[in-house]
């Protein structure tokens, strides 16, 4: 995501601390007079937060009393960290806030999915410009590389692949290091802050037993708590505001890496990637598709839809992951409901998430390749051809939801709100007319213009010539990819 860092000149540390204190206390939930969280979402958010606290408490209790082998210890530690709200700047947002199990480890708040699509960060008036991705089966994504035979980038994490995995040899571990330091997500000002917070946690001894006594042997400055209570980003003149000596900084960075690897271990565990859908039971000969599901699967694999060319259902030696880990531009329209478009003025802490306002254009993978974050200068030459392309997600758990009326959001910006809309878009993108402003037929009889028209995939979608009944067949098949299926119906 193209994120801008802007600080108000002359803002003092005391002033920032006062503003941060007000935000934590709830006195400044809407510091600019603008509250992007729908009122109807607040009760649902509270319910999710209570569930997060419950799962964390259960996990801590298991860590205290259960006899665990080393794999179980590392996995459980990663789970505890994943559900720990204290690891966000205002101690109010765990990693799991955007990735809960009842929705396939994607966004768990129906009202937000239906409206803003993106989720608020620890500073509740800050939103990112994209919807949360699902974490299920993400551990199978390889380190980002350019495949010469395919002529395509493969792997990485995030919608724009920017968590390459090149440094830790794990794209998923590097992804876990992004949200804690993103000012529109968990908002920590320095990676050392996550280490500092865990050093104060009830599970410090568990982490230390796995990583060694040196993991938290850091000489913390007297103002470490004060600095870590201040929302990021760090100012350019002081990019690492927890002032550590080189050895202590090295220890903190190494422990920050171990934290990320533990989260990745949990996210790669059978709890997150169980292969327990009806599809898996059918493939194992322990269940049967309904006639509609079977017809949908045949369509999915057909040359009519081309679905499994990108959402691969497996081949020799492959798990059926329903993604090829590449990126594509589907021609999705922009989503004007994203609060990010309105984050174009400094908030109370002097941060401007999106100075471009309504002119903001999400460049996807191409934006990452053209940015200083790109670790390989040879890749930069390909940036333009990847503008508007986003990583192909797995279709596993694409319809997992806690109740039938729960709304999920789809595509990188959450523009589409149901699998029927998704399949209809794939089917008719190029055949229906352009919508006029406020057109009541939007998403049914017309489509708005694409966000990034230059690099649209025109080979595999847009005019599939499916009937409405065939669209429903595809939806029925996609619903068989939801984990937790019981062949006995119980």
How is the chain split into domains, by residue range?
13-271+338-386, 276-318+414-450+458-490
Across 116-139, average pLDDT: 97
Report residue 355 as tokens.
Answer: 């100075």
Write down the pLDDT at residue 107: 98
Report residue 8's pLDDT band, with 50, 70 and 90 as the boundaries.
very low
pLDDT at 167: 97
Q: What is the pLDDT of residues 415-429, one digit of tens each?
A: 999 999 999 999 999
314 Cβ contact partners less than 8 Å away, ≥ 6 residues apart: 320, 321
pLDDT for residue 124 is more than 60? yes
Structure confidence by residue, pLDDT tens digits, 211-247: 999 999 999 999 999 999 999 999 999 999 999 999 9
Spatial contact of 430 and 367, defined as CB atoms under 8 Å apart: no
Please answer whether residues 421 and 407 qualify as being in contact, where contact means their C-beta atoms are separated by less than 8 angstroms. Answer: no
**For 315-363, how does the pLDDT look when each residue is reduced to its tens digit (9 = 90+)?**
778 899 999 999 999 999 999 999 999 999 999 899 999 999 999 999 9
For residue 234, how many other CB atoms are within 10 A of its CB?
A: 19
pTM listed for this prediction: 0.92
Fold entry, domain 13-271+338-386: Cytochrome Bc1 Complex; Chain D, domain 2 (1.10.760)
pLDDT of residue 9: 31
The CA-based dihedral angle spanning residues 455, 460, 465, 470, taken in that order and rounded to the nearest 10 degrees: -120
Tokens standing for residue 107: 């966004």
Task: Specify the pLDDT at position 13.
Answer: 40
pLDDT of residue 29: 44
Give Cβ neighbours of residue 381 (< 8 Å, ≥ 6 apart): none
Listed in sequence order, the DSSP H helices in 108-177 are 110-114, 171-176
Q: Above 80 in pLDDT, residue 163?
A: yes
**How far does Cα 478 stand from its chain's mean position?**
21
């Amino acid at each position: 995501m193209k994120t801008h860092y802007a600080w108000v000149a002359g803002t003092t540390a005391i002033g920032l601390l006062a503003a941060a204190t007000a935000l934590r206390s709830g006195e400044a939930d809407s510091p600019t007079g603008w509250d992007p969280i729908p009122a109807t979402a607040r009760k649902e958010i509270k319910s999710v937060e209570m569930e997060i606290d419950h799962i964390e408490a259960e996990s801590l209790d298991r860590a205290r009393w259960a006899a665990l082998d080393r794999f179980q210890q590392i996995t459980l530690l990663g789970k505890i960290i994943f559900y720990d709200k204290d690891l966000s700047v205002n101690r109010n947002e765990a990693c799991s806030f955007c990735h809960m199990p009842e929705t396939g480890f994607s966004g768990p708040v129906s009202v937000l999915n239906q409206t803003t699509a993106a989720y608020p960060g620890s500073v509740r008036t800050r939103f990112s410009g994209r919807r949360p991705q699902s974490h299920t089966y993400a551990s199978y994504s390889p380190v980002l590389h350019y495949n010469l035979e395919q002529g395509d980038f493969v792997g990485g994490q995030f919608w724009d692949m920017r968590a390459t995995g090149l440094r830790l040899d794990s794209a998923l571990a590097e992804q876990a290091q992004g949200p804690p330091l993103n000012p529109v997500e968990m908002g920590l000002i320095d990676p050392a802050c996550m280490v500092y917070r865990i050093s104060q946690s009830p599970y410090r001894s568990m982490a230390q037993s796995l990583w060694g006594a040196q993991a938290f042997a850091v000489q913390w400055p007297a103002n470490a708590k004060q600095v870590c209570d201040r929302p990021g980003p760090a100012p350019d003149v002081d990019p690492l505001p927890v002032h550590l000596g080189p050895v202590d900084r090295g220890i903190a960075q190494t422990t920050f890496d171990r934290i990320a690897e533990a989260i990745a271990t949990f996210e790669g565990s059978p709890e997150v990637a169980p292969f327990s859908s009806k599809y898996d039971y059918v493939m194992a000969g322990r269940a049967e598709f309904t006639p509609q599901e079977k017809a949908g699967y045949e369509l999915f694999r057909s040359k009519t839809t081309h679905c499994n060319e990108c959402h691969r259902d497996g081949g020799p030696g492959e798990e059926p992951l329903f993604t090829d880990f590449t990126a594509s531009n589907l021609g999705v329209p922009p989503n004007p409901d994203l609060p990010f478009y309105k984050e174009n003025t400094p908030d109370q802490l002097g941060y401007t998430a999106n100075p471009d306002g309504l002119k903001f254009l999400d460049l996807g993978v191409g934006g990452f390749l053209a940015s200083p974050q790109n670790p390989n200068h040879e890749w930069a030459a390909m940036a333009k051809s990847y503008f508007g392309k986003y990583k192909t997600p797995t279709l596993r758990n694409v319809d997992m939801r806690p109740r039938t009326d729960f709304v999920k959001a789809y595509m990188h910006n959450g523009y589409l709100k149901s699998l029927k809309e998704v399949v209809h878009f794939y089917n008719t993108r190029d055949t229906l007319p352009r919508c006029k402003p406020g057109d009541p037929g939007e998403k049914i009889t017309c489509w708005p213009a694409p966000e990034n028209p230059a690099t649209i995939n025109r080979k595999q979608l847009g005019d599939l010539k499916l009937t409405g009944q065939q669209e429903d067949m595809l939806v029925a098949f996609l619903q068989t990819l939801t984990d937790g299926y019981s062949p006995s119906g119980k």
